[in-house]
Amino acid sequence: MISDFHGRDVLTLDEFTGDEILALLSKAKDLKGMLKKKEPHNYLDGKTIALIFQKPSTRTRISFEAGIAQLGAYPLYLNANDMQLGRGETIDDTGRVLSRYVEAIVIRTFAQEEIELLAEAASIPVINGLSDDYHPCQSLADLLTILEIKNRFSGIKLAYLGDGNNVVHSLLLGSAKVGMDIFVATPEGYEPSSLVVEKAKNIAKNSKVEIMNDPEEAVKDADVVYTDVWTSMGQESEGDIRKKIFVPYQINSKILSYAKSDTVVMHCLPAHRGEEITNEVMDGPNSVVFDQAENRLHTQKALLALLLG
Ligand code: CP
Ligand code: NVA
């Protein structure tokens, strides 16, 4: 069955079935090939896409801006503080107004609820560019990177070490949907949301979703070892305490020796080198972090082309 992506919102990654995610990754591969061959693919000619940012960004902002331009559309970057949003206009009213001007909205903010309210009010697709709870665009790039290297998801074990945060929430859903095993090790009290874990377990039919506190157990025989910052945007006041608690979850050569020898190391970036990942590992032969960052561009272009094409 051919899925109809047209007009849909992307808020967590739970919107898509496993087959839809595979279709999206296949589209991303096509677009990646076209870009490399310099073949025009201005599928969104004449459209405008608003990008609202309430938190800093390097990859998300720039890959969306560049990707939108490559698709022939206009990326309208909006710092939320320069909008009336910053002076109390509601997110609903903002969504209703923007729907009269542009064809889609990408938003990076704090509360997931804000994104959901925006999606409800807007008559155009709303894409979560990261909230405190989810980062669906990141997971799509992660999945493409894994597929390119390992050629399959079934029987692949991903180990995530660190904080049970936005990145791992979407990754749990995405892994379960494509049938990849995911083992998450966090310090006690920093586990991913039990709601998300239960959802992922219900989705996973022939794959594993395991949450634990022992990093070595998680990494044992892993095909992919993944980490993210210990202190996410908005949690800066907890930074000092987190730096101590998370030490056993650092990705270094010792922990990596428990994984398969051809394991790939992933990080959504930005990295705090020397904290969650050592320089040696990040710059080492197993690291694919920059290919992963590149794939943000291709997967987001696929997403936009399918939602708006
Ligand atoms: N991975 C990611 O979303 O990076 P930015 O915060 O730079 O957008
Ligand atoms: N968990 C991190 C991801 C940054 C891309 C954060 O929210 O800051």
pLDDT in tens, 147-175: 999 999 999 999 999 999 999 999 999 99
**What gap in Å lies between CA 23 and CA 3, rounded to an integer?**
9
pLDDT digits (tens, 9 = 90+) for 262-294: 999 999 999 999 999 999 999 999 999 999 999
List 8, 59, 135, 242, catalytic entry: 135
Query: pLDDT digits over 31-54, tens only?
Result: 999 999 999 999 999 999 999 999
- Identify whether 268 is a catalytic site residue: yes
* Spacing, Cα 211 to ligand 1 middle (Å): 25
CB 233 near ligand 2, within 6 Å: yes
| Residue 309 pLDDT level (bands cut at 50, 70, 90) | confident
Q: How far is the CA of 268 from the centre of ligand 1 (A)?
A: 7
Q: Quote the ligand 2 centre to 135 CA distance (angstroms).
A: 8
The pLDDT tens digits of the residues spanning 84-118 come to 998 999 999 999 999 999 999 999 999 999 999 99
pLDDT at position 2, please? 60
Distance CA 122, CA 94 (A): 8
> Which ligand 2 atom is nearest residue 163's CA?
1
Q: What is the mean pLDDT of the chain?
A: 98
Residue in 69, 78, 10, 63 with CA at minimum distance from that of residue 44: 69
Residue 306 CA to its chain's centroid (Å): 18
Task: Report all structural domains of the chain as residue ranges with CATH numbers, in order of start.
Answer: 2-134+296-308 (3.40.50.1370), 137-292 (3.40.50.1370)
- For ligand 1, pick from 268, 277, 291 the residue to mutate: most ligand atoms within 8 Å of CB: 268
**Is residue 232 within 8 Å of residue 165, measured between CB atoms?**
yes
